Each structure stands twice: as structure tokens, then as C-alpha cells.
Homo-oligomer: A and B are copies of this chain.
């Protein structure tokens, strides 16, 4: 089927799906979750062969994926995403106020671009697909070329599950190929795009979407440098624990997480650097997703190592596997060579920035821009947090972590996964957690409508109205 025919079919399916009761949407999401949970044994080996990721991780990731689908069920059962808001008619006002009833409606067909690093959780049945379906949208999913087989398999399970609850044909489908992806985001019947991947690829799609005759929302989650700041007190008191946590975090998923802390900023890094060595040497071998990603990692690591002033703290070697590498650079050199030094490395490589003074430390902090996460490691009632550091992190981050590490994302109501550009192309929304579905709905106000023409949830006395804002209250 051509991309055009496929999007047309998705749009037709959407015209029916948009009228579904919320309970039917929940049934659809549950059917997909059940189907994937039941197919773990079939799915995991295919993903293992395509991604080099180990079995426990992939098995856990299927669970996370179906957990996301089930969290979306909870989000759809809760009427808050409808944002129901009522203002009653009031003829005593000047001008008289008509009856106004607002709720959100789904956008239409959503194009989803799956990521390489989470074949399930950010793949064809991942968070973007789950939240788009939950929002009442149809999805056309561009398969990540890193794991086409498991993507096709997951898609087949989803489509069968959707069929089993009576979903219209075309509601869920996949496309493959770079040119096909570009054709998809330019299609007039695509109403929104959700993307997880590289800044380079994301920006190209973002630009294409904005050049459409009719631009549509583009939700790109492009990664982050996720700098972590260690206070003077913590650098002394907790050097070993911080070194251990740091190495653990940068090797999680072989360093291929968008929340990997790429930089550890420390005022006098000697103690932490010394402790880091042992943990790097003790770290297991790292297998990157595929040869292309490994090649790119190795080449950027090589470039990083050539930045003037960059020295190796530690690097382990495990035969054919990719080494864990921690570099160290002085704040002065880092700031002077910022263009080469301040970049994301997709893989188990990170940098300790050693500051000779609090002034340098804050100058380094000021050099960072939009990031998914950032954080501070301190001690209790820490008096050594530089003034303005937290305020600065608030200005650049979607999430700020205290005495923990940014990897290992909780999928909850209070999660914000998305920060100022280049972390995301739209930092007003999250791509993870219950609120992710808000990206795919927009408000519509019904003015002076008779009860019988209103959707059931907007009628006087509906259950949903109980938790709604009525006349500003």
C-alpha cells in the first residue's frame, strides 16, 4: 500500500475511532497490553538478535511497555484529560455571556517515529503510540531501521489485538524507509508527529513539518547532555558513592539512554576521579545496539579524546565489547573548546569537568542549554550549593534530580520527560507518563448548544462534570 493510501486508510479509521466511548479505548489499550505480555517469549529473542540488548533488560522492557499502555488506560478512565470546563449563560453581564462548554478532542492521524534504543518502550507499541491511541488518534508508525523484525512482529500483535476489540482497519499501521518517513510527515492528513531520536534526524523532520502548507505539532524528543553537578561538600563526603552511581548510570543500557549523564561537574574533582577508576575497571563489557551505532560512538569518543586538555580517567577493555570511557577536562579547557567538548555521546562515554573555583563552576553551569534532565549531588542541609545553581537548572531542564541519577525513568503522573530545545522541540509537554496523551488533543468550545447535541460528558448532570471547572470553580 502506498503511504498516501495508508494515511487515507488511517484517517478513515480515525473518523470512526474518534467516536468511540472511553471504555472502548481502554479495552483497545488493554487488549494490546495483554497481547504483548503474552508474547514476551516470542518477541524478546527477535529483539535480542537485532539490538544486542540482553534478555533480562528486554523482558523488563516489554513489561515497561505494557505498563505504559496500562497507565494510559488509567489516564483515559480519569476524565481530567478531557479538560471539561463550563461557563453558564449569564444575561446580567455586559455583554451577556452565552453557555460555554469546553472539552478536548483528538487531533487525527499521528505519525510516530520509533527509537533505536528502546525497541519496545519507544518502539512501535511505545509511549508515543500508546498516548496517541489513548488520545483517540490513529497511528502510522515509522519503524526504526535498527530493529525492523521485532517492529513488524509487535505491529502484527497490535493490529490483531485492535481487530479483536472491533477497531477499524487502518487504525494502526507501520511504514519503513527514510523517504517514506519524510512522505509521511508531509501528508496533509497527518495531524501531529511524535519523534524520539537524534537531534540531527529530529531537526530534519521538524523543519519538514514546519514547511508544510498546513504545519502540525511536532513533538521531538532529541536527547540531552544531562549535566550533573556535585557540590563541594558532597565531592568530599561522598566521592565513592557518587563515582559508583555515575559509572552505573552511564553504563545503563550501554550508555544509550537519552537521560545518560554525559557530564559530571565538580569543584576539585580529584577524589571523585580517583574513585571513578575502580568502578570503570569493574564495569561489565558494553555491547552497543548495532555496528553503525558503535562506529559512530567510537568516532565521537575519538574526537572527544582529541579535545585539548581532555585526559582519560579510566577506560576498561573487554575483548570485542565497547570500552567504558570516562574523561576529565578542566573547566577552563572545557569552556574554551566548548564547541568540540560539549556534545552528546551515544554510548558508555562521559566527562568529568573539573572546576578550580565556584566562579568557574557556575560558568560551566551557564554554558549548558536545554536538556531532558540535570541534577545536583549534595549533602543534607548543604551550604555549598552555589547561589543560583538551582534556578539555572530550572531554566534549562525538564527534570532535576537530587542525589540520584537521571537514568531509569519512572512512568507516572508527575514525570516530565522533555526539556527546552534541543532536548525537545516542544517543552510544554512530556513524552513519558500519564500526561503524554495531552499532546494529541486540542480544546473545542461549544457555545449555546442544546443538550441533545452535546457529547454525553458535557451534558448537565454527567459524571465527568463533577470534577470539572464550572464557572471558574
Decide if B74 touches A472 in the complex (CB within 8 Å): yes
Decide if B105 touches A394 in the complex (CB within 8 Å): yes
Near B by CB (< 8 A), chain A positions 229-278 give: none
- A168 in the interface (beta carbon within 8 A): no
Decide if B100 touches A444 in the complex (CB within 8 Å): no
- A79 in the interface (beta carbon within 8 A): no
- A204 in the interface (beta carbon within 8 A): no
Known: A412-B97, A413-B469. A444 touches B399 (CB 8 A): yes
- A120 in the interface (beta carbon within 8 A): no
Decide if A399 touches B445 in the complex (CB within 8 Å): yes
10 additional contacts (CB under 8 A) given A78-B472, A398-B443, A428-B438 = A18-B391, A100-B412, A100-B414, A206-B210, A214-B369, A214-B422, A216-B421, A413-B472, A416-B445, A435-B443
Decide if A414 touches B101 in the complex (CB within 8 Å): yes
Quick one: closest B residue to A60, CB to CB?
Answer: B94
Q: Write the residues of chain A forming the contact surface with B, with a CB cutoff of 8 angstroms.
A: 15, 18-19, 74, 78, 80, 85-87, 95, 97-98, 100-102, 105, 108, 206-207, 210, 214-217, 369-370, 375, 380-381, 390-391, 394-395, 397-404, 408, 410, 412-416, 420-422, 425-428, 430, 434-435, 438-439, 441-450, 452-453, 469, 471-472
Decide if B404 touches A98 in the complex (CB within 8 Å): yes
User: A434–B108 Cα gap in the complex (Å)?
Assistant: 26
Decide if B450 touches A413 in the complex (CB within 8 Å): no
Quick one: closest B residue to A455, CB to CB?
Answer: B394
Quick one: closest B residue to A450, CB to CB?
Answer: B402
User: A78–B86 Cα gap in the complex (Å)?
Assistant: 16
In the complex, the 3 A-B pairs of residues with the closest C-beta atoms, listed nearest first: A416-B445, A100-B414, A210-B210
User: A450–B401 Cα gap in the complex (Å)?
Assistant: 11
Decide if B215 touches A206 in the complex (CB within 8 Å): yes
Write out the residue numbers on chain B whose beta carbons fall within 8 Å of the beta carbon of A414.
Answer: 85-87, 100-102, 445, 469
Decide if A415 touches B102 in the complex (CB within 8 Å): yes
Decide if B434 touches A472 in the complex (CB within 8 Å): yes
User: A19–B388 Cα gap in the complex (Å)?
Assistant: 11
User: A258–B55 Cα gap in the complex (Å)?
Assistant: 58
Write out the residue numbers on chain B whose beta carbons fall within 8 Å of the beta carbon of A370.
Answer: 214
Known: A410-B97, A413-B85, A442-B428. A448 touches B102 (CB 8 A): no
Q: What is the oligomeric copy number?
A: 2
Known: A100-B414, A416-B443. A404 touches B214 (CB 8 A): no
Quick one: closest B residue to A75, CB to CB?
Answer: B472
Quick one: closest B residue to A220, CB to CB?
Answer: B215
User: A428–B443 Cα gap in the complex (Å)?
Assistant: 6
Quick one: closest B residue to A80, CB to CB?
Answer: B469
CB distance from A132 to the nearest CB of B (A): 14
CB distance from A420 to the nearest CB of B (A): 8
Quick one: closest B residue to A427, CB to CB?
Answer: B442
**Which of B394, B404, B413, B472 interacts with A444 by CB under 8 Å?**
B394
User: A105–B394 Cα gap in the complex (Å)?
Assistant: 8
CB distance from A110 to the nearest CB of B (A): 13
CB distance from A66 to the nearest CB of B (A): 14
Looking at A101, A210, A425, the one whose CB has the most chain B CB atoms below 10 A away is: A210
CB distance from A430 to the nearest CB of B (A): 7
Write out the residue numbers on chain B whose beta carbons fall within 8 Å of the beta carbon of A214.
Answer: 369-370, 420-422
Decide if B397 touches A444 in the complex (CB within 8 Å): yes
**Which of B381, B430, B434, B453 interacts with A452 by CB under 8 Å?**
B381
Write out the residue numbers on chain B whose beta carbons fall within 8 Å of the beta carbon of A410.
Answer: 87, 95, 97-98, 100
Write out the residue numbers on chain B whose beta carbons fall within 8 Å of the beta carbon of A100.
Answer: 410, 412, 414-415
User: A214–B371 Cα gap in the complex (Å)?
Assistant: 12
Write out the residue numbers on chain B whose beta carbons fall within 8 Å of the beta carbon of A453.
Answer: 390, 402
Write out the residue numbers on chain B whose beta carbons fall within 8 Å of the beta carbon of A444.
Answer: 394, 397-400, 416
Looking at A87, A98, A412, the one whose CB has the most chain B CB atoms below 10 A away is: A412
Write out the residue numbers on chain B whose beta carbons fall within 8 Å of the beta carbon of A450.
Answer: 380, 402
User: A439–B472 Cα gap in the complex (Å)?
Assistant: 19
**Which of B369, B402, B448, B469 interacts with A447 by CB under 8 Å?**
B402
User: A391–B108 Cα gap in the complex (Å)?
Assistant: 12
